[in-house]
Amino acid sequence: MAKLFLLRHLKSQWNVDDRFAGWTDGPIAKNEAIKAVNLANEIFQNKIDAVYTSPLFRNQDTVARIFEAVEKKYPFFIHLDPGKMQKWGNFVDISENDVPAYVSETLNERYYGKLQGMDKKQVAKKYGEPMVYAWRRSYKFAPPGGESEKDVYNRTTPFFKKFAEKDLKKGKNILVVASHNSLRAIVKYVENISDENIIDLELPFGALIKYEFDGKNYKKFA
């Protein structure tokens, strides 16, 4: 039975600073890399056939750090977005130690619009905590100039079904490394969470969720 692993990236420096990171490219915070070893030990108890991630540095860096903890396994980053796709013709020389890591902007974090880079406490003071919470966690409310979770779902889920789920149906084990709201969108799809209940879903930094897939249904396992 195919296995799906969903991993939220390690904590970035802007996460430490409690700022809205969105589509910005900050580094992984200091001392976070050690957590990658434990994650790798858990993930690579299984053979991983492919990885899907976004071009945000904190996501790709998390992928790279996890693979650093695994002997003779390396992520081979392949961009899928139009205009950025590598053109190798009909021949790609990937060794048996390389694991394809497919990169697409569709797995990016929610775009926070005018809030990007701002201190979350200052934003809450200006707009009120209930409004900010709705922008961050509800399904239909979007921050000024940014995306709602519904927007994220509508760009993330079709990509997941077209690529990752297609691989799962072939019996492949898949790892998706992405940001909080793009992963919340995938979990919403996988677990069929309602628009109203998605507000309650929180995934900590470095959170790992594991599913078995029988070709039709997903079942979470420990």
Three-class DSSP category at 111: coil
Q: What is the pLDDT of residue 137?
A: 94
Determine if residue 9 is labeled as part of a ligand binding site.
Answer: yes
For 150-196, write each residue's pLDDT tens digit.
999 999 999 999 999 999 999 999 999 999 999 999 999 999 999 99
For 177-189, write each residue's pLDDT tens digit.
999 999 999 999 9
Cβ–Cβ < 8 Å for 4, 178:
no
Q: What is the pLDDT of residue 20?
A: 94
CATH number at residue 80: 3.40.50.1240
What is the DSSP annotation of 32-78?
A: -HHHHHHHHHHHTTS---EEEE-SSHHHHHHHHHHHHTSTT-EEEEE
pTM for the model: 0.94
Determine if residue 166 is labeled as part of a ligand binding site.
Answer: no
- State how far Cα 176 lies from the chain centre: 6
For 34-43, write each residue's pLDDT tens digit.
899 999 999 9
Report how many domains make up the chain. Answer: 1
Neighbouring residues of 57: CB distance < 8 A, sequence distance ≥ 6: 25, 26, 27
Strands 74-79 and 2-8: unpaired
For 87-140, write each residue's pLDDT tens digit.
554 446 678 889 999 999 999 999 999 999 999 999 999 999 999 999 999 999
- DSSP state letter for 216: S
Three-class DSSP category at 211: strand
For 53-68, write each residue's pLDDT tens digit.
999 999 999 999 999 9
Mean pLDDT across the chain = 93
Q: What is the pLDDT of residue 214?
A: 97
Q: Residue 186 sits in which domain range?
A: 2-220
Determine if residue 11 is labeled as part of a ligand binding site.
Answer: yes
Number of other CB atoms surrounding residue 160 within 10 Å: 25
Q: Indicate which residues carry an active-site annotation.
A: 9, 109
Neighbouring residues of 52: CB distance < 8 A, sequence distance ≥ 6: 101, 102, 104, 107, 160, 163, 164, 174, 175, 176, 177, 178
Determine if residue 8 is labeled as part of a ligand binding site.
Answer: yes
